[in-house]
Amino acid sequence: MTKPLELPEALDASAKRFQELNKDNDVTLEKAETAGLVSDAEWKTYNKDHDGALELDEWLNIVRARFRAADTKKDGKLTMQELDSAAGQALLKLVVGP
């Protein structure tokens, strides 16, 4: 059996993904850089300063929320079954890409 994914691992991988998506090499992700990855509702909820760009902490807050949504057992670990769910697949888009 594959080792479950834990939140620190997901955060680390998604921080690297943030850098990969950051095509203009600034310190934020603009909507165009997150197209198909972050919903309008997530933008509204997590872009707290409403500046039209996601800073790394805002990006990681989306990852945390998606992790919690996928963690149906509420044990802080995502099994293959949880990762195969719609919520798990949404998380994986931010962690490893499509």
The pLDDT tens digits for 69-89 are: 999 999 999 999 999 999 999
Q: How big, in percent rounded to 5, are the helix, strand and coil portions of the chain?
A: 55, 10, 35
The highest-level CATH class for domain 5-95 is: mainly alpha
Q: What is the pLDDT of residues 1-54, one digit of tens each?
A: 479 999 999 999 999 999 999 999 899 999 999 999 999 999 999 999 999 999
Q: Which amino acid is at 68?
A: R
pTM, to two decimals: 0.93
Query: What DSSP element (H or E) covers 5?
Result: strand 5-6
pLDDT of the residue at 97: 77
Domain layout of the chain by residue ranges: 5-95
Q: CA dihedral in degrees (78, 54, 35, 23; nearest 10)?
A: -110
pLDDT of the residue at 98: 67
